[in-house]
Structure formats: structure tokens, C-alpha cells
Homo-oligomer: A and B are copies of this chain.
Amino acid sequence: MESKVRVAVIGGSGYTGGELLRLMAIHPKLELTVVTSREYNGKPISLVHPNLKGIISLNFSELNIDKISEKADAVFLGLPHKVSVKYVPDLVERGMRVVDLSADFRLKNPELYKEWYGYEHPYPDLLQKFVYGLPELHSEELKSTKLIASPGCNATATILALAPVVSSKMVDSYQFISDVKVSSSEGGAQPSEGSHHPERQNAIRPYEAEGHRHAAEAEQELSNLAKGRVKVSIVPHAISSVRGALASVHTWADLDDMTVWKNIASFYRGKKFIRIIRGNIHPYPDPKYVIGSNFADIGFATEHRIGRLTIFSAIDNLMKGAAGQAMQAFNLSIGLEEDEGLRLPPLRPA
């Protein structure tokens, strides 16, 4: 009998960590062996993740790389930016498989860490070794890497909307505005004034509207695809759903619907987690219909009168926007089908 891959989760008490655990609990080829949490060390996982009661019986443990490297072959890191970078090099040195869900290894150009994240990246060489974990763009590289930098949620939504546009060269100008509507789980598990229920519920609130960091990775990936400079401005808005994000990516371009459709369909042909939305009853993507799954639904609208093209991209921010995508990329890197353990239909209604 084939042995399972032993996996650890570092930083397993947040929402991304919890979603990784949910996925690992049903993944037929993975065995979860360690979950760390500084705050909850020694406590049952179900204390923090009550949904997992009766499903995962492990306790949280402390972050000890020696122990982790004994018990696991691969590590998923659900740590904040600038924290992940403290542990990743050691894991890499030990030859472990690493899936980092922070931003710390997403950007190839170390200069961008200064510009966007305000720190000098201490391991510029390591940046080159990581593969940006968006399987729709990098499936071949993922199959031959042990190091995955998993994309940000708003970046994922934006890149998936624009990849067919910039790679097909169907537009003249490579400058886009990605107006993103995001649910509250995107902000993480830490309470704050803005996330306090009476303040967040019914909000329609722009935030980080003057330079959202995910633009850096979106521009990196899209410029590579376009073989030219692509500029994207991401403007996120907090709304009152718990899960789901929609990117409405706008640009000035007068294209007929068939051209747009064909380019999107052709770009994503055979991609298991991309669904192209077009029709009468549900003409545009809505994250409501991907909740709980790893799908990204892509659609578009054109307004010829004014020469506008909008590409819509709908994801579950914790799945295709975080844990699901990390698992999809990891599956490829260990030689599995990309949808292994991820064939979860979305919930409806939810």
C-alpha cells in the first residue's frame, strides 16, 4: 500500500490554517501530523476550530522545526507576512516541501519587497526558487518544484480575470482597475474595530484603496504573461458576506462578446477549476455559487456604447483564494491530479 505524504501546518489557528485542516481531513493521500500555534500550544484543535470537532483529534503544538522535520515531509505555512520568512529558509535547507501562504516568497524582484512591504528581503536568492502557486499559469513548474509561494486572494481573482486578456493581446492598453468586493473572512481571525460585527455587517467600505499590495504580484504575473508591462490598480471593498470575493476588472476596450468569450475559453481550456459563466439566468459570476469549493468562475460584460470591457472573477477567498489553491498546487508538486481531495461541489444556498 502506497504511503501517504506527511504534512504539517505551521500557524494553524487562523482561517487559512483552519481551511487547510478541513481539506487535509478529507484528502486521501495526505496525513496530517503536526499543527502549530503559538497561542494555543497544547490545546485541542477543535477548541479553535469547532467545526473540526470529531474530525481532527490532534492538539496544537509549538513551532519546533526539528520536531516538524521528523514528523512531516511537507509544511504549509499560514503565518503573517514577514513572519513566514523567518522559518522558511530553515525548512528549505532541510529539504522539506514548503507551501508558504504568506507574501514572503511571491515576488521575484527583491526590490518590490521594499516598495510594497517595507522591508529588505533577506533571502533574495530563495525568491527565485519558489514557484508562484497559481496552477492555471504554472502547472508545469509546479510539477517539478518543492517550493510553492501561494498567491494572495485578491491577486488570484485579479490575475485569473486578466490572464486571458493580456495573453491574447485582445486589448491595446495594459492598464486595469480591479474593483474587488471582499468578505470578512479575508481579514483573518483576529478581531479588530473594523471587523466588529455591528461595524462590519452592512458595510460597503473601501479599504487600502491607495495601493493595495496584491497589485505587486498581479503585475508580476500578468507582465510575464503579456511579455510587457501590465499595470493593475486593486481597489478592495469590505462587504458583509463571510466568504467569497468578486473582482470586477475594468478597462477601456471595445470588443465583441464572441472575441472575449473565445479568448477566455481558449486560455482556460481543460482547466478543472475554471468555469466560464455566460448565459441568461446567471449571466455573470457570483462568488455565492463557488462557496466551499476551489472553483474560480470567470465572466465578462462589454458596453460598446462607451468601449468598456469588464472581466468578472469570483472565488471563495479561503479556497481558490488561499487553502484550496495551495492544496491544488501542492497536489501537482507531489505528482497527484490537481483536484485530488478538492472535488467538493460548492454549497447552495450558502
Contacts and interface: CB of A to CB of B under 8 A. Distances in A.
Contacts of A29: none
Contacts of A239: 181, 204, 239-241
A350 B242 contact: yes
Interface in A203-227: 203-207, 209-211, 215
A18 to B, nearest CB: 6
Question: Which 6 residue pairs of A and B lie closest in terms of their CB atoms, listed nearest first?
Answer: A209-B301, A198-B349, A51-B346, A51-B348, A197-B200, A184-B197
Contact of A347 (B51, B55, B248): B51
Interface of A: 15, 18-19, 22, 25-26, 47, 49-55, 175, 177, 179, 181, 183-185, 187, 189-193, 195-207, 209-211, 215, 231-233, 235, 237, 239-246, 248, 250, 252, 275, 277, 279, 281-293, 295, 301-303, 305-306, 308, 310, 312, 314, 343-350
Nearest to A199: B349
Contacts of A312: 206
Given A179-B248, A275-B53, A348-B22, A204 B308 contact: no
A321 to B, nearest CB: 13
A21 to B, nearest CB: 8
Given A191-B191, A289-B50, A197 B201 contact: yes
B195 A196 contact: yes
Contacts of A314: 204
Nearest to A185: B198
11 contacts: A15-B348, A47-B279, A50-B289, A177-B177, A181-B181, A190-B196, A204-B239, A237-B248, A243-B347, A292-B350, A347-B347
Nearest to A232: B306
A29 to B, nearest CB: 15
Contacts of A209: 283-284, 301, 303, 310
Nearest to A204: B246
A231 B305 CA distance: 9
Given A15-B349, A284-B209, A191 B202 contact: no
Contacts of A15: 198, 348-349
Given A25-B345, A350-B292, A250 B179 contact: yes
B290 A348 contact: no
A211 B18 CA distance: 33
B302 A242 contact: no
Contact of A26 (B289, B301, B344): B344
